[in-house]
A and B are shown apart, each in its own frame.
Chain A
Amino acid sequence: MPVFQKVLIANRGEIALRIHRGLKAMGLSTVVAHHAVDAGSPAVREAGEAIELHGPTPVAAYLDIAQMVEACRRTGAQAVHPGYGFLSENAAFARALEQAGIVFIGPHADTIELMGDKVRARNFVAERGFPVAPGAIEEDDPATFVERARQVGTPLLIKPSAGGGGKGMRIVRDPGQLEAEIQAARREGERYFGDGRLFVERYVERPRHIEVQVLGDENGRVVHLWERECSVQRRFQKIIEETPSPALSAQQRRDICEAAAGIARACHYRGAGTVEFIYGAGGEFYFLEMNTRLQVEHPVTEMVTGVDLVREQVRVARGEPLAFAQSDIVQQGHAIECRLYAEDAAHDFRPATGKILCWRAPAGPGVRVDAGVREGQAVTTAFDPMIAKIVCHGATRAQAIERSVRALQDAVLLGVTTNARYLTRVLRHPEFMQGRADTGMLARCADELRFAPGDEDTDLAIAAAVLSDRELLRAVHSVPPMHAAMGAWRN
Chain B
Amino acid sequence: MRRRYLIDGQTHDVVVTRGADGALQIDRAGRRISARAEPLPDGRHRLTIDGRDHAVWIASSADSVFVHGNATGAAEVETVDPAAADGHARAGAADALSAPMPGTVIAVHVAVGDAIVAGQPLIVIESMKLETTLIAPRDGRVRAVHFGVGSSFGLKATLVTLADA
Contacts and interface: CB of A to CB of B under 8 A. Distances in A.
Contacts of B165: none
Nearest to A360: B57
Given A410-B70, A420-B74, A463-B47, A358 B79 contact: no
Interface stretch (B59-67, B96-104, B120-128, B137-145): B59-67
A283 interface: no
A451 B8 contact: yes
A346 B8 contact: yes
B18 interface: yes
A465 B65 contact: yes
A487 B73 contact: no
Nearest to A358: B59
Say whether chain A's binding surface is mostly helix, strand, loop, or mixed: helix
A409 B17 contact: no
Interface stretch (B25-33, B82-90, B152-160): B25-33
A467 B14 contact: no
A421 B57 contact: no
Given A357-B61, A358-B59, A414-B68, A469 B26 contact: no
A413 B70 CA distance: 12
A479 B74 contact: no
Nearest to A417: B76
Interface of B is mostly: strand
Contact of B37 (A459, A467, A472): A467
Interface residues of B, number: 45
Contact of A421 (B16, B18, B72): B72
Interface in B33-50: 33, 35-37, 45, 47, 49
B75 A468 contact: no
A461 B31 CA distance: 14
B9 A347 contact: yes
A416 to B, nearest CB: 8
A460 interface: yes
B24 to A, nearest CB: 6
A490 interface: no
B74 A467 contact: no
A464 B65 contact: yes
Contacts of B61: 354-355, 357, 415
Interface in A253-278: none
A146 to B, nearest CB: 44
A405 to B, nearest CB: 10
B115 interface: no
Contact of B31 (A409, A455, A457, A475): A455
Contacts of B71: 409, 457
A491 to B, nearest CB: 19
A428 to B, nearest CB: 12
A363 interface: no
Contacts of A466: 3, 14, 16, 24, 26, 35
A479 B15 CA distance: 14
B77 A461 contact: yes
A341 to B, nearest CB: 13
A421 B9 contact: no
Contacts of A413: 68, 74
A414 B59 CA distance: 6
A454 B79 CA distance: 20
Contacts of B10: 453, 458
A408 interface: yes
A420 B33 CA distance: 27
B47 A453 contact: no
A424 B70 CA distance: 12
Given A466-B3, A484-B18, A409 B73 contact: yes
A460 B79 contact: no
Interface string A370-412: 0000000000000000000000000000000000000011101
Contacts of A469: 3, 65, 79
B82 to A, nearest CB: 14
A462 B26 contact: yes
Contacts of B56: 460, 464
Contacts of B76: 417
A204 B135 CA distance: 56
Contacts of A111: none
B93 interface: no
A357 B72 contact: no
B18 A477 contact: yes
Given A468-B65, A469-B65, A462 B77 contact: yes
Interface in A431-466: 451, 453, 455-466
Contacts of A476: 1, 16-18, 24
B12 A421 contact: no
B66 A414 contact: yes
A475 B18 CA distance: 10
The 5 closest A-B pairs by CB, nearest first: A357-B59, A414-B66, A464-B67, A463-B35, A414-B59
13 contacts: A357-B59, A357-B61, A453-B10, A453-B72, A453-B75, A462-B7, A462-B26, A464-B37, A464-B47, A464-B65, A467-B35, A468-B65, A479-B18
Given A357-B59, A459-B33, 11 more contacts: A358-B59, A412-B68, A413-B68, A421-B73, A457-B75, A458-B12, A459-B31, A459-B49, A462-B5, A462-B12, A465-B5
Interface of A: 346-347, 354-355, 357-358, 360, 408-410, 412-415, 417-418, 420-421, 424, 451, 453, 455-469, 472-473, 475-477, 479, 481, 484, 487
